[in-house]
Chain A
Amino acid sequence: MKVTGAQALFKALEGERVDTVFGIPGGAILPAYDPLIDSKVRHVLCRHEQGAGHAAEGYAWASGRVGVAMATSGPGGCNLVTALADAKMDSVPIVAITGQVPSPVVGNDAFQEADICGITMPITKHNYLVTDANLIAETLREAFHIASTGRPGPVLVDIPKDVLLQEITWRWPEEIDLPGYKPTTKGNLRQVRSAAKMIMESKRPVLYVGGGVIKANASKELFRLAADGRLPVTTTLMARGAFPDAHELALGMPGMHGGYPAVTAMQKADLLVALGTRFDDRVTGQLAAFAPDAKIIHVDIDPAEIGKNRNADVPIVGDAKDVIAKLHAELTRQQEEAGGVPDRSEWLLTLESWKQTYPYRYDQPADGPLKPQFAIERLYEATKGDAIVVAGVGQHQMWTSQFWRFSEPRTWVNSGGLGTMGFAVPAALGAAAARPDKRVVAVDGDGCFQMTAQELATSRTENIPFITAIINNAHLGMVRQWQELFYEERYSQVYLSYDVPDYVKLAEAYGAIGLRAEHPDEVDAVIEKALSITDRSVVIDFRVDQREMCFPMVPAGASNDDIIVGPEGLRPTNEPAEAPVA
């Protein structure tokens, strides 16, 4: 069968079972938009390529499948850059397809030419410039394979216009050959045995769970390991939902704005079992002072993560699902041999007491001002957590991660590694496109919202509804907080305004429903109203106390021992960290 390169592209996308792509057409990619009309693939016309990129990410986060974004050459591809970098940092499987100027003029500064492969080399897992339409199907297969296997990540495929127009004989490559790409997925049994032994010997173990566990769909395996081994669990910002927050062994989120129990448990642990996580600085605080007494078992599919920031006593390269299952089996065997789970009741009691003494807290005065945490908590209660929650970057992101009680994987979508403001609205769009059966709620900052709010138009015209709850503190709140705490309250360029723009009117202009709550009394009614609407997007303008700060906090570069638990700036009195811990 004779096809054009553009037709081959869509046949290949269909072959990869792609149902949705997010994109914007333009000159160089134009040929691809013609066969699109006859294709089974749904194209969601975004309003900005960055939006298309984040939407592809949101799709991937929520579904576990590869998200796809399309853009034209030059400015189109360049607008994808932030999303690609974000996907690289957070190991999100996406494939970006960009048009390129025709091959004969590549390198000539032709209209809308940008060397997008050169630009995106360090921010993609891999990228391709396709020089022959006969290679399109094969390249797409490789791209999807690379994006979705091993440590997932973004792959960009750049196709010159003439290649999209080139006529070829269609052929679907059944096999691909990537001699330099063979991720190690099966964990070494000998290492697993040593790891289990180390757990048996530990008096104060903590499972330090990262996003890799969600990527590997290993939540069930994790649950069994934790439950049967009686091992307390911390879930990083990237791993929220990997383990149910309501479980007695759940300690919540560690890190810069993590809870006291999680942060301090890791500091005091004698063993950290790091699962699909990378000892990121936001988690470790000052690296030299991080978990000083802990031995480390480090499980990751990416060998480059092992030993990168902290040496591992037992490194295990492999897929989290495989390794955790093996570890569970081996630990169960060793426990049976030893006649049961080692007695760590003292440790578990200590942790439980920290959970009781140091929950996340805030004070909502009955007569206002409205506290951001209260709005988020009420939203959680009203949805009963049965939603996919998406966050932007800043205080609201941390509060959402703190106050949302997750029970399932893939119900939390956010920008962790890159910390990309503007992520939430388009990512919510993508998540809602991937999971039309689920309620999608974006909790966004007023600053973040304004970076990508244009995708509300996409939501309306493509009929992909979701709720956006703007935590409107009239400020670039997180930056304001740092200036308050570390720059002697010298506020510099952080004031935005409560009412410019008028978010309710803006929502309405985009064909969404706009709601507002300024007082704690109004919160429940507004949320109820929002949840009653299912055929349109809703934007809620929660006007919250601009002075509220996000705690606990470990100041950047400080030791996790110096966690500030609340606005009074004091470390906990009666110092439970000094409490007997075995």
Chain B
Amino acid sequence: MNGQLHTISVLVEDKPGVLTRVAGLFAARGFNIDSLAVGPTSDDGLSRMTVVVHVDRKPLEQITKQLNKLINVIKILEHDPGEAVERELMLVKVRAAGEDRPRVMEISTVFRANVVDVTRSTLTLEATGKPEKLEALLELLRDFGVIELSRTGRIALARGDKGIRERGARSKVAAVGAEEWTGGGV
């Protein structure tokens, strides 16, 4: 895959079609979205999307600017690696019969996953954490046989005391008022 992995939070008005508009901008440029999570926020009428995408710096900048131009997009924040808390939730159904069962349970405990469904032959685990942690867990579970898997995609909040709306972010040119705009090579 090309480019680096980027995590972008997009604060949007909760209107019909807004997901299509956002996704469409990526699709129109041939970028594959790695993951996309959408949910309500503490503000009525606003949703927050977390988009994870593999893309180079320059096209990413163009995309965030284009995203900013969408009428229903309120704010965009591109998360610098390490500057954000990133989490994901995963449900995984894994074969766990006979002597495999305690092994799976053990792994589950190490990863602080919860068992949320049990059958004679399977266990369904619920795990949350950084995407890398989920990957590591999954890697171990594959030995037993993963029957199915569902992941929410990544969600993220920037570290520190500010909310997304109080932040001036690097790729936020469109929302930057004239007087804030300091320029540079864009």
Residues of chain A having any CB pair with chain B under 8 Å: 117-118, 121-122, 125-126, 129, 146, 178-182, 184-188, 190-191, 194, 302-304, 306-308, 311-312, 314-318
Beta-carbon contact of B16 and A129 below 8 Å = yes
A180-B71, A311-B185 as given contacts; A304 in contact with B66, CB under 8 Å: yes
A303-B173, A312-B185 as given contacts; A186 in contact with B178, CB under 8 Å: yes
A182-B175, A303-B174 as given contacts; A317 in contact with B17, CB under 8 Å: no
Q: How many angstroms between the C-alpha atoms of A129 and B20 in the bound complex?
A: 14
A180-B72, A304-B69 as given contacts; A315 in contact with B24, CB under 8 Å: no
Could you list 24 examples of A-B contacts with CB < 8 Å?
A118-B17, A122-B24, A126-B70, A126-B71, A180-B71, A180-B74, A184-B178, A185-B178, A186-B179, A187-B178, A188-B178, A188-B182, A191-B181, A191-B183, A303-B68, A303-B176, A304-B65, A304-B66, A304-B173, A304-B174, A307-B186, A308-B62, A311-B185, A316-B183
Interface size class of B (residues with CB under 8 A): 20 to 34
Number of residue pairs spanning A and B whose beta carbons lie under 8 angstroms apart: 81
Q: How many angstroms between the C-alpha atoms of A188 and B175 in the bound complex?
A: 14
| B179 interface neighbour in A125, A185, A188, A302, Cβ under 8 Å | A188
Q: How many angstroms between the C-alpha atoms of A312 and B185 in the bound complex?
A: 6
| B73 interface neighbour in A180, A317, A318, Cβ under 8 Å | A180
Q: How many angstroms between the C-alpha atoms of A179 and B43 in the bound complex?
A: 13
B residues 28-57 with Cβ under 8 Å of A? Answer: 28
Closest to B16 in A: A129
A302-B69, A306-B186, A307-B61 as given contacts; A122 in contact with B28, CB under 8 Å: yes
Chain A positions within 8 Å of B71 at CB level: 125-126, 146, 178, 180-181
Q: How far is the CB of B174 from chain A (nearest CB, A)?
A: 5
Q: How many angstroms between the C-alpha atoms of A578 and B100 in the bound complex?
A: 81
Contact of B177 with A by CB under 8 A: yes
Indicate the member of B20, B175, B179, B181 with the most A CB atoms within 10 Å: B181
Beyond A181-B71, A312-B186, A316-B183, 9 additional pairs, beta carbon < 8 A: A129-B17, A178-B71, A179-B13, A184-B178, A184-B181, A190-B182, A191-B183, A315-B181, A315-B183
Beta-carbon contact of B65 and A303 below 8 Å = yes
Q: How far is the CB of B177 from chain A (nearest CB, A)?
A: 6
Contact of B130 with A by CB under 8 A: no
Q: How many angstroms between the C-alpha atoms of A185 and B176 in the bound complex?
A: 11
Q: How many angstroms between the C-alpha atoms of A182 and B24 in the bound complex?
A: 22
Chain B positions within 8 Å of A180 at CB level: 12-13, 70-74
Contact of B101 with A by CB under 8 A: no
| A311 interface neighbour in B70, B176, B177, B186, Cβ under 8 Å | B186
Q: How many angstroms between the C-alpha atoms of A118 and B20 in the bound complex?
A: 8
Chain A positions within 8 Å of B28 at CB level: 122
